[in-house]
Structure 1
Amino acid sequence: MLTIWHNPRCTKSRQTLALLEESGKEVDVRLYLKDTPSEYDIKDMMDLLGFDDPRAFMRKGEAIYKDEGLKGVTDPKKLIEMMARFPILIERPIVTDGRRAIIGRPPEAVKPLL
């Protein structure tokens, strides 16, 4: 089964979900803005993505990123804490099969999971 951290208001997220559904694979849709990932979930996803720095899958253009002064934050734990507190900071969509994860930008990037 695949899991997608999905935001239905995001075009890329909708396109990625459509690609997954068309593949015939079973898909668990996590509306991560409502079903907010915990710090543990975010750290786990970071590991599945193969990232050492949480900033690698943060939306740095979001107003909250600037408002909270996150550009100057160097502590990964603090960045993960802020992503859990403000899930809009998490890049979307993210698709995982439980062993690895891929950001669906572009949506076709997730094809190796299919």
Structure 2
Amino acid sequence: MPETSGWNGRTPETDVIDYRAAEQLLAARDPRGAVKLLDEVVAAHPENTAARLLRARAFFAAAQLRSAELEFSLVLEREPDNAFAHFALARTYERQSRPDRAQRHFRLAAALDPKPEFLKAARFDS
């Protein structure tokens, strides 16, 4: 009998397979399918920041902006120096027409990682 990781009989291998499949679904522009797989992974491993970040990206791609905002915020509670999460949260706020909140996170992303894309979005010169 294989060892299980939780109440639903999932194994660690199943969680890894679902995570990888969710990455593929997101790349194939099926964010809702990715969210379905990641819901179970996150339920089994709520502390897993990588799974939460991927689920946040899937929510964003599916235009589920409130859910994306919540997931990106959870990631940032655990990893406040995650430049990508700041940038993605800023894009989420931007799509919600919340420019002041977006600007703050664009600037944090650029300060943490001065990638050209982050610097351009931060608009430090304005």
Q: TM-score band (shorter)?
A: under 0.3
TM-score, normalised on structure 1? 0.25
> Relative to total residues, which structure has the larger strand share, 1 or 2?
1
> Relative to total residues, which structure has the larger helix share, 1 or 2?
2
Give 1 or 2 for the bigger CA radius of gyration: 2
TM-score, normalised on structure 2? 0.24
Q: Return the structure number with greater relative CO, CA threshold 8 A, min gap 6.
A: 1
